[in-house]
Amino acid sequence: MGAVRQDVATLGAGWNKTLLNYALAMRALDELPISNRNSWKFLGAMHGFDEELWRGEELIGTGPVPADLTNGTYGDQCQHGSWYFLPWHRGYLATFEAIVAAKVKELTGDDWALPYWNYLDASNPEARKVPAAFIADKLPNGDPNPLKTYPRRPGLSALQPGRRDAFSLAAAEETDFTVDGGIGYGGGITGDFIQFGNWTGDIENNPHNTVHRLVGGYMTDPRLAGLDPLFWLHHCNIDRMWEAWMRAPGKKMTRDSRWRDGPADRLFLMPQLGGADPGITFGGSDTLTGGRFHPTYDDLTKGTGVVPGAVAVARVGMGPSHQQTVEPIGANAGAVSVGSKPESSLVTLEPQATTAGVAAMGATTPGAKVSRFYLALEAVRGQAPAPQIDVYVNLPEGADPDAHPELHAGNLTMFGLNVASRPHGRHAGNGLGYTLDITELAQRLKQAGDFDPSKLRVTLVPGEHVSDQQPITVDKISVLKRTGTVS
C-alpha cells in the first residue's frame, strides 16, 4: 500500500508500462475461476452480484456459485447512499491494488500502483478522454485487449456530459462530511450495512454517479460495474477527491464511532492476498491517515476542487456538524411518477419557518444564525440501474427547461436505483434519497421577486434511461432547512 498513485494522463500515451501491466494482470486474473478470491470476477462480484444476471450475461457457467458470494461475507458488499460509500470503496481499492500489483510483480517483476483517471482536471484539455489503452482492440503484441473485454457505451472514447449533467467539482464546496438529516459530502448516517442507503452524499452524486452513467455498459449497473477495468481508475479518482477534501482547512470529517467502526450488523470484508482465511475486516478508521488502507497520491490539487493547505471554503462555515439542525419545512402532496414527459408537483412551504430561513440565508457575521435550503427527493424507486433526471424550481408550466438554466436546481443520476428498489434486497425496497442545495437558486428567486414563502413548484424532467416503460417514482418531494451558526 506504499506505492504512489498517479494520474493516468501523466504516465505516457497509449500502452504505457502501467497500463500494459494492468492489462496483463487483468488477463491473468480473469482466467482464474470465480471461486478464487483473487480472481477478477470474484473481485467484481464483491461490489455487486446477482446470480441470475451473471448467468444471463454468461459471466459464470452452470456450476455452483461460490458460497462466499451469497452468504453475507465477501459478495455483494458495495456501499452507496450512506457515509460508508467512501471508506468501503477505499478498502476495496486498496485490496484490488494489492492483488493486481502482486500479479504484475509475478508476471513482469515490475512494481505497480493503481492510476487514477483525472477527468475533471481543468489544466488538461484531454482529461475527459478515455485512456487509449482501454479502447484499443489489441495489445501491443496483437493479442485481444483485456481492458476492452466488458461492454461500455457504444463508441465511447470520451466522457460527453450534457449541458445540465452533474459533472463538476461542486461537491468540494460542502464543508461537512455529514449532517444528520441526509446532507453532506459523504452521505447519510447509518449504523447498518446498507448497500443503498437513504441519503446520497454530494461526491457520490456528482461526479461519481454521472461518470458511471456516461461510461455506460456494465458501469451503469452496480451488480456488474466492478468488472470494467475503468471502474477502478474512476473510483481511484473519487477516492483522491475525498483525500483532498479531508485535507482542506474548513472541511469537517466525521468522528462518529459508528463510522469509524463500520456497520454493526455485517462486517466489511476483503480477501487476503492469496485468498486465505481469515479475510481482512475493517471500518472507517482503517481508511484514514495511519490506517492500513490509507493511500498516497501524487497530487491532491488538480481536478479536486480544493487546494490542500489553503482556505478553500467557498461558503461560510455553519459550525460543528453535530450542532447543525436539519428540519423539513415543506413537502408535496403525493408521490410523483416520471416517464417520458416532465412532471411537476407543488411543494407547500411552512411560511414562518421559510421566511426565517430566507432571512438567515446570506448571513456572514460570525456567531449569527445561518440557513441553507435543500430540495429532497425521498424514496425514489425505479427499475433502471442508472436513470437520470433534471430538477427545476418554479419552471413555468409548459416552458422549455433548456430555456431556463437559472431555474435548474440540479441533475441526478440514480446509480443503483434498480438494486435499491428490490423489495427483498438489502435495502428492503426503500429506494434512494437525494438532496440538492437550492440556496443560491432561492436567493436568485428572492432577488427576482419570484420567491413565494408558501410554495414552490418542482418539475422533474426525465433524462437518460427514464421512459414510460421504465419510469421512476418519487414518494415525496420536500424542502429541508439546514441551520447553523456562522463560524
Partner 1 sequence: MPRAATLRSFAHPPWRALFVAAGCGLVLSACGMATATVPLLCRSSAISELTAANAADAVALAIALNPPGPLMAGWALMLLAMMPPLLAAPLMHVWRSSLPQRRQGSLALFLIGYCAVWMAAGPPLIVVAVALHMLGGGSLWVTFSLVIMALVWSACPWQRAMLNRGHRQMRISLFGWAAAGDCVRYGVVHAIWCVASCWPWMLAAVAVQDWHLAAMMAVGAIMLGERLAPPEPPRWRWPALLRAIDPRSARAPLQGLLRHG
Contacts of 19 (CB under 8 A, 6+ apart): 8, 11, 115, 131, 133, 134, 147
Do residues 183 and 189 make contact, with C-beta atoms less than 8 angstroms apart?
A: no
Q: Is 217 left (phi over 0), alpha (psi -120 to 50) or beta?
A: left
* DSSP assignment letter at 207: I
Minimum Å gap between C-beta 163 and partner 1 is: 33
Interface residue with partner 1, options 80, 90, 408, 426 (CB under 8 A)? 426
Interface residue with partner 1, options 10, 36, 348, 467 (CB under 8 A)? 348
Q: Taking CB under 8 A as the rule, does residue 87 contact partner 1? A: no
Total site size for partner 1, rule CB under 8 A: 44
Q: Taking CB under 8 A as the rule, does residue 329 contact partner 1? A: yes
Nearest residue (CB) to partner 1, 28 versus 267: 267
Nearest residue (CB) to partner 1, 169 versus 480: 480
Minimum Å gap between C-beta 129 and partner 1 is: 40
Minimum Å gap between C-beta 476 and partner 1 is: 5
Report the alpha-carbon distance of residue 219 to residue 216 in Å, rounded.
5
From 14-22, 298-306, 329-337, 410-418, give the range in contact with partner 1 by CB under 8 A.
329-337
* Cell numbers that stand for 173 in this block: 464546496
Interface residue with partner 1, options 281, 323, 337, 340 (CB under 8 A)? 281
Report the alpha-carbon distance of residue 152 to residue 146 in Å, rounded.
13
Minimum Å gap between C-beta 376 and partner 1 is: 10
The contact mask relative to partner 1 for 379-418 (x = CB under 8 A, - = no) is: x---------------------------------------
Q: Taking CB under 8 A as the rule, does residue 331 contact partner 1? A: yes
Minimum Å gap between C-beta 347 and partner 1 is: 9
From 213-221, 291-299, 347-355, 445-453, give the range in contact with partner 1 by CB under 8 A.
347-355
Q: Taking CB under 8 A as the rule, does residue 71 contact partner 1? A: yes
From 81-89, 143-151, 224-232, 255-263, give the range in contact with partner 1 by CB under 8 A.
255-263
Q: Taking CB under 8 A as the rule, does residue 67 contact partner 1? A: yes
From 116-124, 167-175, 192-200, 303-311, give the range in contact with partner 1 by CB under 8 A.
192-200
Do residues 343 and 445 make contact, with C-beta atoms less than 8 angstroms apart?
A: no
Interface residue with partner 1, options 97, 176, 221, 350 (CB under 8 A)? 350
Amino acid identity, position 453: P
Q: Bridge-partner residues for 403, per DSSP?
A: none
Angle between helices 229-247 and 85-108 (to 10 degrees): 130
Interface residue with partner 1, options 16, 30, 151, 191 (CB under 8 A)? 191
Interface residue with partner 1, options 335, 360, 361, 399 (CB under 8 A)? 335
Nearest residue (CB) to partner 1, 57 versus 256: 256
The H or E element spanning position 269 is strand 268-270
Q: Bridge-partner residues for 375, per DSSP?
A: 436, 479
CA 79 to chain centre: 10
Q: Taking CB under 8 A as the rule, does residue 47 contact partner 1? A: no
Q: Taking CB under 8 A as the rule, does residue 288 contact partner 1? A: no
Report the alpha-carbon distance of residue 392 to residue 91 in Å, rounded.
37
Interface positions with partner 1 (CB under 8 A): 67, 70-73, 181, 191-194, 257-258, 261-267, 281, 283, 327-331, 333, 335, 348, 350, 353, 378-379, 423-430, 475-476, 478
